[in-house]
Amino acid sequence: MRGIHLIPANINLAFISKKTIFFAFSALLVLASIGMFLSKGLNYGIDFKGGIMIEIRTEKAADIGDMRKTLGDLGLGEVALQEFGQPTDVLIRIQRQEGDEKAQQAAVEKIKSVLGTGVEYRRTEFVGPKVSDELFWDGVLAVGLAILAILVYIWFRFEWQFGMGAVAALSHDVISTIGIFAIMGLEFNLSTVAAVLTIAGYSINDTVVVFDRVRENLRKYKKMPLPELLNNSINQTLSRTVITSVTTLLALLALYFLGGAVIRDFSFAMIWGVLIGTYSSVCLAVPLLLYMDISRRGALVGETDETAADSP
C-alpha cells in the first residue's frame, strides 16, 4: 500500500527565483510589527504589570468558567484563572489595583466575599512593579540568549554564514510574533515568552534540516550554480518540512479550540510560530545564503558519480 504524500516526491518549485518577493514581504512584516509595538504597545499580563496572585483549594472540582465570570463582574480589571495541579486547586491572578497596599488588600477581601465558604486560601501574594519589571527583562534576556546560543551552535555545526542566515530568520519570527500580539491585543505574559522560545527551537529545527541538505549538495554538486543548488535542497526537504508542520498544527489547533481560555493565547502564539517559522526556514534562511559567500570547502571531501556527471 502506497502512503499518502502531501508533497509530490519530484516537486520542483521555484523558491530562489522569488526571493525578492519573500524579502519584501518579510521586510514589510517586520517593519509593521515594530511600528505596532512602538505605537500601540503590548497588552502585558499580570506577570509584567504586577498584581495579586491567590492560590485556593475548593471542596469539589472547581468550575473555572463560572468562577471566572463571577470574579470578572467585580470590576477589578484583568482576572486570569487556571487549574493548578489538581481539579480542586485554582490559581487566581488579578491586575494590580490603583493605590497602595490597602487597595490590594481590599481587592482580596472582595474576592473572598464572593467565593464564599468552602474555599481554602493556600497562598496570597502581591507582585509589585519591581518584580514584574525584573520578570520582563528576564524574559527579554532569555530570548536574546537563546538566539545567541543558536547562532553559536549553527556556526560550529556548519559555518558562520549559515548561522547568520538562521539568526536573521529567527529574529524575523520573534519580531513578527510580537507584532501579531500587538496588532490583536492578545495578552503578553510569561507563557507567551515560553511560546516564543519554543517557536525559536521549532524554527531552527526546520532550518537545520534544509541546511544539512544544502551542505550535502555542496559536496555532491561542485559545479552546479548556487541558486539551483539551494532551490533543489529546499524542494528535496519540502515534503518533510510540510508534514512536520501539518502534524504539529493539528495538535495546536486542538489545544486552541478545546484547551480553554487559559492556554488559548499560548496556543495561538504557537500556531503563528509554526506557520511563520516554516516560511522563514524555506523562504528566508536558505535564500539569504546567496549573499553570505558560503564556502564550498566541504565539497573537497571526495568525488561521487553524480559529481562527475554534474554540468558546469
Give the pLDDT confidence of 27-81 residue by residue, as tens digits: 999 999 999 999 988 888 777 877 888 888 888 888 888 888 888 888 888 788 8
Domains of the chain: 20-41+132-299 (1.20.1640.10), 51-127 (3.30.70.3400)
Phi then psi for residue 32, to 5 deg, are -65, -40
Looking at the chain, the whole-number percentage of residues with pLDDT higher than 90 is: 27
H helices of the chain, in order, are 19-39, 46-49, 64-72, 101-115, 129-157, 160-184, 190-220, 226-258, 264-280, 305-309
* Sign of the Cα pseudo-torsion (49, 52, 53, 56, in order): negative
- Position 160 scores a pLDDT of 81
pLDDT at 200 over 70: yes
- Buried-exposed string 243-281: b where 16+ CB fall within 10 A, e elsewhere: ebbeebbeebeebbeeebebeebbbbbbbbbbebbbbbb
* Sign of the Cα pseudo-torsion (78, 82, 84, 88, in order): positive
- Position 311 scores a pLDDT of 41
How much is the average pLDDT of 96-102? 78
- Position 20 scores a pLDDT of 94
pLDDT at 305 over 50: no
- Buried-exposed string 12-30: b where 16+ CB fall within 10 A, e elsewhere: eeebbeebeebeeebeebb
- Which residues neighbour 69 within 8 Å (Cβ) at sequence distance 6 or greater? none
How much is the average pLDDT of 292-311? 51
**Whole-model pTM above 0.85?**
no
Of 55-69, 118-132, 137-151, 217-231, where does mean pLDDT reach its minimum? 118-132
The answer to whether residues 276 and 176 touch, using CB atoms and an 8 Å cutoff, is: yes
More confident residue, 138 or 34: 34
Helix crossing, 264-280 with 226-258: angle to 10°? 170
- Position 9 scores a pLDDT of 67
Give the pLDDT confidence of 223-268 residue by residue, as tens digits: 889 999 999 999 999 988 889 899 999 999 999 988 776 688 889 9
- Position 296 scores a pLDDT of 63
- Position 307 scores a pLDDT of 42
* Identity of residue 166: A
More confident residue, 77 or 184: 184
- Position 172 scores a pLDDT of 93
Looking at the chain, the whole-number percentage of residues with pLDDT higher than 70 is: 89
Give the pLDDT confidence of 256-269 residue by residue, as tens digits: 988 776 688 889 99
The answer to whether residues 147 and 200 touch, using CB atoms and an 8 Å cutoff, is: yes
pLDDT at 297 over 70: no
Please give the Cα distance from 107 to 62 (Å, whole number).
21
Give the pLDDT confidence of 266-287 residue by residue, as tens digits: 899 999 999 999 999 999 999 9
How much is the average pLDDT of 75-88? 80
